[in-house]
Amino acid sequence: MRIIIKISIIILALLIGLQLKGQCGITNNTFQSGEELTYDVYFKYGLLHKKAGTSTLRTKDDRYKGQDAYKMTMIANSTGLAKKVFTLSDTMYCYMSKTLEPLSYTKYAHEGSDYTQEYITYNYSSGNVDVHTKLTRSNKLRHDTIITSEKCIYDMMTVVYYARTLDYKQMKTGESKNSLLISGKTKVDIKIKYNGTEKIDANDGKNYDCIVLTLVISDKAFEDKKEAMKIYITNDQNRIPVRINSKLKVGSSYVLLKKILGNKYPLKNN
């Protein structure tokens, strides 16, 4: 009898553990492995408005610590005259489970004379989300800490994929979804606000009907807490980001879609 009770307890614990681990899981009906998006990067400061570089975002099937996963890689580089004024060479990649749980995020950034390395890993085994975040800048350790969250939490890269999966047809203009975001060594509140639809001209010569989202991030890195980021995603099943605006402490930046490859569904554009 004791053996049966012990076995029952173990099975129950395993089931609870699996349930907790799956709390952040989402069904992905939006993108697929092989998706590749190319963007032009622009910077605005006062009257200055220049194309500053290019960026490519790729998604592929991969493995992470023995499990099937998606790997998303973003590479951004300054080009032309902007490269002479300000050197930009960023590589970011993240892993997400097949149910879009964040697993890790890594960033290597050369910006001007600074070199930044950032590492974030997620652990769901405790029932909460334990996030190990570490950052060095110019070979100096800035932080190395563990943050625990009872709710799902994302980083600056995985949150965009999360936003692509939400059902905006069920939302009214002005409604929002709340979540948490890792920013440096802290967790901050984030709201993904639905602002209706708008036509956007992309750099591939096409006009897209887009869902307009505002990301309200309570973080000192962003000047305007009411509109830290604005994302325009295609109003179709692909939910492809066409334009992303970011307001920073010094000026602002935006990326504009230039090329799409590997989209899961046929595109709707004018």
**Does the residue 199 lie in any domain?**
yes
Could you read off the pLDDT of 10-49 as tens digits, one per residue?
Answer: 333 333 333 334 468 889 999 999 999 999 998 876 666 7
Residues with Cβ within 8 Å of residue 125, at least 6 apart in sequence: 17, 21
pLDDT at residue 88 in the model: 64
CA angle centred on 187, ends 183 and 188, rounded to 5°:
85
Tokens 């490519």 correspond to 56
Q: Is 83 left (phi over 0), alpha (psi -120 to 50) or beta?
A: alpha
Burial class (CB in 10 A: 0-12, 13-18, 19+), 250: exposed
The answer to the question of residue 269 being in a domain is no
CA 228 – CA 73 distance, rounded (Å): 22
Q: Say what the pLDDT of residue 46 is.
A: 65
Assigned token pair, 116:
């930044």
Rounded to whole angstroms, the Cα distance separating 193 from 118 reads 28
Instruction: Quote the domain boundaries for residue 135.
Output: 2-261
**Is 268 within a domain?**
no
Number of domains in the chain: 1
Asked whether residue 35 is assigned to any structural domain, the reply reads yes
Average pLDDT, the chain: 84
Q: What is the pTM of this model?
A: 0.83
Tell me, what's the pLDDT at 43?
81
| Domain contains 63 | yes
CA distance 184 to 215: 17
pLDDT at 225: 52
Any domain includes 266: no
Q: For residue 68, how many other CB atoms are within 10 A of its CB?
A: 10
Quick: pLDDT tens for 228-251: 789 999 999 999 999 999 876 566
pLDDT in tens, 189-230: 999 999 999 999 999 999 999 999 998 877 655 444 555 789
Is residue 270 one of the residues assigned to a domain? no
**What are the pLDDT digits (tens) for 77-131?**
877 655 555 556 789 999 999 999 999 999 998 766 778 999 999 999 988 999 9
Domain annotation covers residue 188 = yes
Q: What is the pLDDT of residue 19?
A: 36
